[in-house]
Structure formats: C-alpha cells, structure tokens
Structure 1
Amino acid sequence: MNNLFGKNGAMISRFRAAVAAKILIACVLMVVGWFANGGAWSASALIVTLLIAGLVIDAWTNRRKPSHTSADADNEMSHQPEPGQPHHTGTPTTVTGIDAFMADLLNQTQTTDTLEVAILREDLYRLQAFNNQLLRLGEIAQELNTALPFKETKAKALALARQLLSADVVAFVAETGREFTLQGVSGCEEEDVNVNCCGYYSRCPIRTSFRDLRPTVISNADCKAFPPTLRAHLSLPFRMDDKSVMSLMAAATGPDAFSHVSLPILESLVGHIQAGLKAAQKYDAIRREAITDPLTNLYNRRFFEARGREEIEHSLRHREPLTILMFDVDHFKDINDTYGHQTGDKVLQAIAQYLKDQTRTSDICGRYGGEEFALLLPATPGRNAGFLADRLRDGLSQIMYTGLGLPANASVTVSAGLATCPHDGTTLEELVAQADTALYQAKRSGRNRVVRATPSG
C-alpha cells in the first residue's frame, strides 16, 4: 500500500508541477508579448491571460480526478523509453531563453505517457510556436522601423510577411473607390495576380474584408485573384489614409494553410506593416522636399549637381556620351515687371511641366536658379541633344500662356546652350561652364536659339 501511495503521490506531484509550469510559461509569454508589441498590452496579451484562467481551471478539474491504480502506475513506468531511445523530434535542439525553458519541460515529458502529460506536451508545443511567432513579430517591427524609401519598405514587408505566414504568394493590393490595384507582389509575377475580379463580384470575401477592415481567412477559395492551385487566401486590410485602403493579401496551396497563425498574431503583423509603410511615406516626403524645387517640382540645384557628378563618372567609366542643356527664359524680367511675379511664377511652372513631359524618365530636369533650367541627358551625344534642344525650344514658344495671365498674343521664348562629355569637359564644373558660355552666346546672337559649346558628338 505504501508503495502504491508513493507511486500515485509522485505522479500527482509531477502533474501539479506540470500545471504550475504551464501557468509560469503563460505568465512569461505575457511579458514577451508586452515587449514584442512595443511596451503596450495587445490582443495577444489578452489571449494569454485567458489561457492562464483556462490552465487554472484545468488544474482544479484534474486534481479532483481519481488517483491512478497500481496497474496504471506500472503501465506508466512501462512506457518510459529505453536508454538511448530518441525523444520527440519536434523539440528544438538549439534554443535560448524561454525556448530553452519550454524545451527542457518537453524533454522531461517524453518519459511519461499519461493523458495529462500528453495534454501538457501539446500545450507546450502550441505555446512554443506562439512564443516563436511573437519573437519574430518583434524582429519584423525592428526591421520595418528602419528609415527606408517606401518602395524598399514594401518589398521588405512582403518578404517578411511571406516568411512568417509560410505563404506561397503575398501581395499588397490598394482600393480607391471600387478600383483595386496591385502595389507589389512576392512569390510570383505581377501578371499572375488578378485583383480586378474583386471589384466586380459583390460577394467576394476579399472585397468584403476591404469594406469591413477585418482580417479574413478563406479556405478552398474560388477567388480568381491568385492562381487556382493556391486554395487558401488571406486578407489583412488597413487604412493608409482617409481615401484609400490597402491589404496584405496572401495565398497558399493547402486549404488550411493559415490555421497555424492566430488572430492576435495577424493583427500585430498588419499593425507593424501599417506603421512601417506610413513611416516610409514620411521618409519619402522629407527626402522629396530636400531634393525638389518647391515652385516647379523639378529637382533643385543641389540634387542636380550631385546626380550630375554620378552620371559623369558613369559616362567616363563606360565611355558613353553625356550632354548637359542649359535653358534660360528670354526677357523674363519684363514678364515679372509687366504682369507681376505671380504670373512669372506660373510661366516657370508651365515651362517646367513641359520639360518633364517631353523628356525621358532617365533624363534629369532641374531648376538651376531663377529662370534658368538644366537638363542632364545620359547616353546622349551632342548632335542628338541639339535636335532635342531645338524641339523643346520650338515647343515652348508655341505654348498658349493666356490662362496664366499673359495676353493672347504673348509669346515666351527660351535660349539654350549645351556641352557634351567628354568632348567639352570631364567634370560637372567644366560642362556647366561650357554650356553657360554657349547659352550667353545664344542670348547675344538674338535669343530664341540653341548654341553648342563645340561641334562635338
């Protein structure tokens, strides 16, 4: 009898210790959740709190169960693994901190095969997975809070989300009104994602998630947004501003592919992504202000010169021609004196817009100062640049400026000078000086014309 009592007493003591360990783990995870969410309680912390209550009830219920019989105790001992027998393969081999604590408990439970210990073991695995997701969320928050342009932040967010969710494809989709547009994708080509279908099917769960701003998981989805082999869809919508909603959408092959991620984890993930993207927008806005002329929205002189030095270095290294054009508005002082500075500003804005519209995306348009504009034309010889300059000069003289405060018969003309690398110089200072010299020669020759520094190209 004493032997029987000793065996059952030891089992009960081990079980009570296991329950206490479960409660301790839950408390520790609350602290982890608090740190992972930036020092604030979140839905994940609430879930863990409820879990503690469940564990306490579980402990109270199990302690009232009848004690094991001697046969049960002997059966328990018979299920212990032989020396050298491997433990559960799901236990990580290299872990630290809380993972090490839970791994140690898991290793201890491998030697016992009672129902209570089996339940404890499953709880430990779930808690360990939840803990790993919380820790990964903290890392994601840190990576997305670095100062990066919006485009790079989007790409990083897609890669991190795809890894956390174990998704085959992730994408950012934006909705403005009833229009859905793809804002980036990871895991497939953009043409493989068709977001237009969500705008025409009124009962589409993806569209509903945008409307309700609610995370939506769809199993065995028949939505045509992703390739048909991807049966599980996920939509995590959030507001970027008052007019548009964006969603992190994910797709995976298995119909229940996202069941391993809890709602608190999804909500925390989308919160970190939203904060990271908004911070990136502010970063872009500040950078844009630093490199843009506020009146014309062209690049300012500082950026033009910095970019010019880079392009000249590239031109010399790859032995490609590069041309700089300098434009100056003819008789601009008379426009200001006769029609006012506001009209003069509108004329400069109209000229700047025309230059942007008529040049390539690889060309750099800048306001160099006052009524003077500069164009940097990579991979362009002097002859071709001369043709472009004449076309721009002629087009600017034909713009109708009547809506800007000038009379109907008013005509605004420009003079231009150009210099080509390496024929006219191999530094920015040399090329600008040569182009300026050609520009003032055009002014002295009667204005409304283009002059090249030398017959280069």
Structure 2
Amino acid sequence: MEIQWQETYFKLLHQYSLQQSEAILYEASKLSKALVEKGVGPEDIVQFHLEALEKLFKDISPLRVPGLILISFDLLLEVMMAYALNFREYLEVKNKLIERLENFNQELAAANRALEMKVKELSVIQELTKELGSCLDLDRTAGIITRHLQELLNCEVNLYIISSNGEWQGYTPDDDPEAVSISKNIDVPPPVLEARGGEAVRVEGRDLTLPLVVDREVGGAIYLQRDDSFSADEFRLADIIAGYAALAIERARLYEAMKFQATIDAKTGLYNYQHMMHLLEKEIARARRYQRTFTIAMLDIDDFKIYNDTHGHHQGDRALQKIAALIKANIREVDIAARYGGEEFVIIMPETSALEASVVAERVRRAIMNAGIANVGCGPDRLLTVSIGLGTYPHDATTAGKLIDAADSALYEAKRWGKNVVRVYSKTDRRRSGDAEVL
C-alpha cells in the first residue's frame, strides 16, 4: 500500500516541478483527502516527499536541486494544509459517525432488553399456561400462580379469592413448590378491597394490586409487594398473568363445583350412592392398613310408601329433605352421611365400635321421631320414624358389599322388631332374612 502512495506522490511532485499549476495543487488536496481516509499520518507524507525528491535528484543536474527543493516545499505545504483541513473534516465526520453509532448501540441495547423481556414474558406465559392447563385443583392452581409471580418479579405475593359464601380466602407461596399456604376468614388489605372495582391499584409504585376479572365479575385479586418500584414492563407482565390467573381460577372453581355436584344427591344434599361407595372403600383401606375398626349404619324410613301415597310425592320429597337434614345435624363431624337410594340412608362412622355407633344412631333415631312429621296414613298419632341397622368392620365383614349386607340384615331385623329401633348386626340375622351368611 505504501509503495502505491509513494508512486502517486512522486508523479505529483514530478508534474509540479515541470509546471506549477493550480490543477496540480488541486490534485494534491485530493491526494491528502485519500491519505486521511486511508489512515496515512503526516510523518508518512513527509517521508513520501523526501523519497520523491531523492528520486527526482537522480534525473536532473545538480544546479537545479536548490530550485527543485524550494518548489517541492510549496507542494508539500499545499498537501499538508489540505491534509490538515481534510483531517479536521474527517474528525468531524468521524465524531458524528461515532455519536450516531453510540446512539444506535443504545437503541439496539434498549431493543435487545425489550426483546429479552418479550422472550421472558412469552417463556413465563408459556410455562404458566402449560401448568395451569393441566391443573383443575383450585389450591394447586393458586400455588402455580403465586410461585411464578414470586420467581418472576422477586416480590411478596398474596392471592385473594372470594369464596361462594362471599368470604375472602388467601394464598401465599410455600417452601414446597407443590404446595401453597392457605388462610381463611382473613383481614384483606385495603388495596385489595379497592380492586373489587375492577381496576389495578398502585401504591407509590411499590405495592401492586391486580383484580381477577372474568366476564366483568371480580372474583379476587393479586397483591404484590416489594421494597423497590415495579417498572412499566413488570406491571404490564403482571397484568397479563392476572388475566390468565383469573381464567384458570374460574375454571378450577367451576370444576370443583361440578365435581361436588357429581358427588351430591340433588334431592337431599347428602352424598350420593356412588360417592358413598367410594368413601366406604377408602375407609376400609385405611382401617385395614392401620388395623382400625369402623361402623356403618343403614337407615330406612318406616312406612314411607304409605306417606307418599297419602301426601303425594312432593310432600314425600320435602320429608326426605327434612330427614336428611336431621341426620346431618345429629351425627359427628367425622361421620359421613349419604343417601343410599329411595328412602334409605347410610352413615359411615370412622374409628367407631358397634357400641359407640349405637349411641350416634340412637341420637339420630330420636331426633327424627321428635321432629313430629305426621304420617296420618298409618293412623292419627303415627309419625315418620326410621329403623337403623349397624354393621362393623372387621368384626362383621371385611369388604364394602358384605359390610352393607350386614348393616342391611340388621336393618331387616329392626323392621321385624317393630320398626323405629336401632339393631346391631348378628350372624343369625342373615338366616332370618333368608340370605347367605355374611362372614
């Protein structure tokens, strides 16, 4: 590259030595600009000049050397002045380019940050929707939401949901990723109450409350807290997550409601036959594992067909509902009441011997008798009553079907003994009922 510039400068100096014209000086300014653009320094130009002079000296007489030197300095001065001007222009352009480049770098960095935030948002939303999409349990859904928000925004997270009875239920992330801490009947922070209006609430940029809205109905709120402020991007992302959270929570609540309805007998509000059998199998498995005992009671409303024939099925349904309510009100909290079918009911009494179960059954029997539900079809003073049979695991049977048979046999004996009584199963009961013996 230097050889090329040396040749160019030599030709320029040779032309100027022959004819000192403005055209050659103009060519010199063009050369200086090219030298600046290529990064050639002033020292290099002086060196090119001296080498070009030395080359010219070989072709002229010694008498012309002093004059040539003077002429050459005019050209060198012109080149150096043009070089200086071009260099200043070059620096100005360069500085502008550097400034533009820095601005571009800043814009690019901002765009990269925005892109990273978008990618992070999409990743979080994808992971969140994936987990929520496979979850129909309300508590687990709340745990997924609170955990993701805590990890993403590095803040304290509280999720508040309004239950069906209008009370607030709170959820916070647990140390166990698969769990969530649940609080009921809690004091709700004022910003959360304000969020029931459907608008997000921000307090000094540090506290952030996002309503959970589905079909314009507010079903709860997400309450976020941390020491420093939430950025606009964080607020927007939290708001997006709140939208997904609201839909997921509503879906989980609907599923739980449907699941609950699938286990409940619509007429009485007690568990239905299918769910009762499921719970009975679970209780047998638990009792077998821990070598425990439990008792079931079979209840049948005495002369209920006569009551239906006399009062009609509408009144019969109301009587079923009242008796179901009396059963539920007079059993223990651990006991399980279900409608077996027709006018028959079942009570599962965990950790309960036959003697202890007799006390519970007798309390239920008396409560129904004392309710005074008249059954005039059986006589002016007759009331609706129940007969109750008891079967105990493992003494009377070790399977669900045989345990129900045992309680049913005892119920049959209670009917034979005049109704409105409690009867504990005896192995002789089956022979009286004409069925095979329950082992």
C-alpha distance in structure 2 between counterparts of 1:408 and 1:275, whole Å: 58
C-alpha distance in structure 2 between counterparts of 1:193 and 1:435, whole Å: 41
Whether 2:208 is the aligned partner of 1:234: answer yes
Report if the CA contact (8 A) 1:173-1:195 is conserved.
no
Whether 2:383 is the aligned partner of 1:411: answer yes
Q: 1:447 aligns with which of 397, 402, 419?
A: 419
Q: Residue 308 of structure 2 aligns with which residue?
A: 336
Task: Read off the aligned partner of 1:150 and give its amino acid letter.
Answer: L
Q: 1:308 aligns with which of 259, 280, 286?
A: 280
Q: Residue 159 of structure 1 aligns with which residue?
A: 147
Q: Residue 251 of structure 1 aligns with which residue?
A: 225
Q: Residue 131 of structure 1 aligns with which residue?
A: 119
Residue range with higher mean Cα deviation, 411-420 or 115-124: 115-124
Q: Report how far residue 418 of structure 1 moved.
A: 0.7
Q: 1:433 aligns with which of 405, 413, 416?
A: 405
Listed as ranges, the matches of 1:187-206 within 5 Å are: 195-196=187-188, 198=190, 205-206=191-192
Whether 2:194 is the aligned partner of 1:208: answer yes
C-alpha distance in structure 2 between counterparts of 1:394 and 1:418, whole Å: 16
Whether 2:247 is the aligned partner of 1:275: answer yes
CA RMSD of aligned residues (A): 3.5
Which structure carries more relative contact order (alpha carbon 8 Å, separation 6+)? 1
| CA offsets 1:274-297 (integer angstroms, 9 cap, x no match) | 111121122223322322212112
Report if the CA contact (8 A) 1:180-1:196 is conserved.
no
TM-score by length of 1: 0.65
Task: Read off the aligned partner of 1:195 and give its amino acid letter.
Answer: D
Listed as ranges, the matches of 1:38-437 within 5 Å are: 69=92, 72=95, 114-174=102-162, 181-186=168-173, 195-196=187-188, 198=190, 205-211=191-197, 213-219=198-204, 232-239=206-213, 245-252=219-226, 254-256=227-229, 258-259=230-231, 261-401=233-373, 411-437=383-409
C-alpha distance in structure 2 between counterparts of 1:175 and 1:294, whole Å: 21
C-alpha distance in structure 2 between counterparts of 1:436 and 1:449, whole Å: 14
| CA offsets 1:99-158 (integer angstroms, 9 cap, x no match) | xxxxxxxxxxxxx99343144224312320232022211221222122513333233333
Report if the CA contact (8 A) 1:234-1:250 is conserved.
yes
Q: Aligned with 1:217: secondary structure?
A: strand
Q: What is the aligned-residue identity percentage?
A: 27
Count of matched residue pairs: 338
- When residues 400 and 73 of structure 1 are mapped into structure 2, their CA distance, relative to the original with a 3 A threshold, is same
- When residues 344 and 314 of structure 1 are mapped into structure 2, their CA distance, relative to the original with a 3 A threshold, is same
Task: Read off the aligned partner of 2:114 and give its amino acid letter.
Answer: R
C-alpha distance in structure 2 between counterparts of 1:163 and 1:370, whole Å: 54
TM-score by length of 2: 0.68
Residue range with higher mean Cα deviation, 344-353 or 438-447: 344-353
- When residues 355 and 234 of structure 1 are mapped into structure 2, their CA distance, relative to the original with a 3 A threshold, is farther
- When residues 344 and 326 of structure 1 are mapped into structure 2, their CA distance, relative to the original with a 3 A threshold, is same
Task: Read off the aligned partner of 2:149 and give its amino acid letter.
Answer: A
- When residues 151 and 315 of structure 1 are mapped into structure 2, their CA distance, relative to the original with a 3 A threshold, is same
Residue range with higher mean Cα deviation, 387-396 or 446-455: 446-455
C-alpha distance in structure 2 between counterparts of 1:305 and 1:433, whole Å: 13
C-alpha distance in structure 2 between counterparts of 1:396 and 1:68, whole Å: 104
Q: Which runs of 4+ in 1 moved over 4 A?
A: 1-7, 66-76, 187-194, 240-244, 406-410
Q: Aligned with 1:114: secondary structure?
A: helix
C-alpha distance in structure 1 between counterparts of 2:172 and 2:153, whole Å: 15
Where structure 2 has 5 or more consecutive residues not aligned to the other structure, the ranges are: 1-32, 40-88, 175-179, 428-439
Task: Read off the aligned partner of 1:436 and give its amino acid letter.
Answer: D
- Structure with more helix by fraction: 2
Report if the CA contact (8 A) 2:353-2:392 is conserved.
yes
C-alpha distance in structure 2 between counterparts of 1:425 and 1:439, whole Å: 16
Q: Report how far residue 73 of structure 1 moved.
A: 9.7
C-alpha distance in structure 2 between counterparts of 1:346 and 1:192, whole Å: 34
C-alpha distance in structure 2 between counterparts of 1:441 and 1:281, whole Å: 45
Report if the CA contact (8 A) 1:165-1:261 is conserved.
no
Report if the CA contact (8 A) 2:159-2:222 is conserved.
yes
- When residues 114 and 243 of structure 1 are mapped into structure 2, their CA distance, relative to the original with a 3 A threshold, is closer
Q: Report how far residue 255 of structure 1 moved.
A: 3.4
Where structure 1 has 5 or more consecutive residues not aligned to the other structure, the ranges are: 8-65, 77-111, 199-204, 221-231
Q: Aligned with 2:331: secondary structure?
A: coil
Report if the CA contact (8 A) 2:330-2:363 is conserved.
no
C-alpha distance in structure 2 between counterparts of 1:340 and 1:165, whole Å: 64
